[in-house]
Amino acid sequence: MRHFLTGAVIAILLLATASPAHAMSVNGCPIVANAVCVGANLDGAALQGVDLSGADLTGATLRVADLTGANMRLVRLNSADLTGAYLTGATLAGAFLAGATGDLAQFTRADLTGADLHEVNLTSAIFNEADLTGASLDNALLPNADLRAATLNGDSITGADLTKANLTDALLIGSDLSFTNLTGAVLWGSRLTGAQFDGANLTDTNFFQADLRRADLRGADLTNANFSGADMRGVRLSANALRNPQFGCDKSTTWSGPNRRKLERYCQRHGSDCPIILWPCPTAERPCGYLPGESTAQKLVMLAQCYPEYAGRPWT
């Protein structure tokens, strides 16, 4: 009996010590926290809910791998291939993804707070409802990305390519989008309070009903940008950047005579970089305004072009 118990204890101890060595592995890569699997092939692996926190997967391929709900906090995915990978609901807080590539990677509702995504190339990636608060996306290539309802507050997104990206209802409060290409992007209802757009390309960008209070658009290209219904109180922008912008106004009214001269004098006093002046238009339940800037009438958004009752104010 004594020998039997001794043998049983030894067996249990062997199983306990052997467990890590016999943990799930894929092509020689142990699927455990802090694993070192540089260049590993994890293509198509079913890794839902696994713990890979702190793992080094630099240069690994995870094409169509399923990491739904995985714990990947502080994981290293630099230069990894994430083509078609599923990271829905995964925790990637503080993760390193610099230089990662792959089309159609899915990060829906993922936690990417404080993550490093600079210079990623993730065309058509899906980040809807993901939390990227404090993340770095400098020089990221994210054309056609889905960022609906994503949180990017305070992010550095300078020099990024967000061409035709969908940022409907996204939160970008205080984010820096300087020199970012947002051509054709959709920011319907997005919150951009205090955001920086210096040198950004906003050609054909749609800011319908967006919150742009105190945003800095100086130096941005606003050709054909749509600001219909946007809240632009305290916005700063340069008049010479406006080419065919849309503010939801009826532009059939022309400015001439005393009102135009008053506006031109106002612009001459304040220069081309003075703040846009807007306030609520009660009948439309949206802000409306004019941009003091260069004296060329067609480059100015006139308040009275929206509502004649505002003619002569506030520049009288």
Q: Give the pair of three-digit tokens for residue 32.
A: 């455990």
CA distance 211 to 101: 32
CA distance 287 to 273: 20
Cα–Cα separations (whole angstroms), residue 160 to 115, 165, 198, 200, 292: 16, 11, 13, 9, 30
CA distance 295 to 232: 21
> CA 207, 217, 221, 184: dihedral to nearest 10 degrees?
-20
> Is residue 73 very low, low, confident or very high in pLDDT (cuts 50, 70, 90)?
very high
CA distance 92 to 131: 10
Q: What is the pLDDT of residues 213-247, one digit of tens each?
A: 889 988 898 888 888 778 877 777 765 555 555 55
pLDDT of residue 226: 83
Tell me what percent of the chain is helix, strand and coil, each rounded to the nearest 5: 15, 20, 70
Least confident of 141-150, 168-177, 296-305: 296-305
pLDDT of residue 296: 32
The span from the first CA to the last CA of the chain, in angstroms, equals 105
> Is residue 87 very low, low, confident or very high in pLDDT (cuts 50, 70, 90)?
very high
Token pair 């692996």 is found at 45
Q: What is the pLDDT of residues 259-280, one digit of tens each?
A: 445 545 554 554 443 334 333 3
- How far out from the chain centre does Cα 99 lie? 17
